[in-house]
Amino acid sequence: MKTAEIRMRSTVDLRGEVDAIGREIANLRFRAGSEKATDPSRIGALRRDVARIRTILRERERDVRGQAADAAAGRTRKAVS
């Protein structure tokens, strides 16, 4: 999953995606232990997707908190171009 695609999705949707990917990783690990894995690199790719999603969720969380703290202190943020 590309970062641009992740950024276009809603926060609620991304949290659901993290849960779904977590279940898929667990499923793949279970199958890898009981039978031959079809694509062992898939687990790593899914873990990287989860990391990307969590990073973007954290960025959103920090931005919201940062804006609230700035508003309380009477500051404004500069636009990043």
Domain range spanning residue 49?
A: 3-72
Number of folded domains in the chain? 1
User: How high is the mean pLDDT of the chain?
Assistant: 85
10 in a structural domain:
yes
Checking if the pLDDT of 70 tops 80, the result is no
pTM assigned to the model: 0.76
77 in a structural domain:
no
> Which CATH number is 21's domain given?
1.10.287.310
80 in a structural domain:
no
Rg (C-alpha) for the chain, rounded Å, is 18
81 in a structural domain:
no
Confidence category of residue 69, pLDDT binned at 50, 70, 90: low
54 in a structural domain:
yes
pLDDT on residue 36: 72
Give CA separation, 8 vs 24, 42, 57, in Å: 23, 24, 12
78 in a structural domain:
no
- List pLDDT tens digits, range 27-65: 998 888 777 767 889 999 999 999 999 999 999 999 877
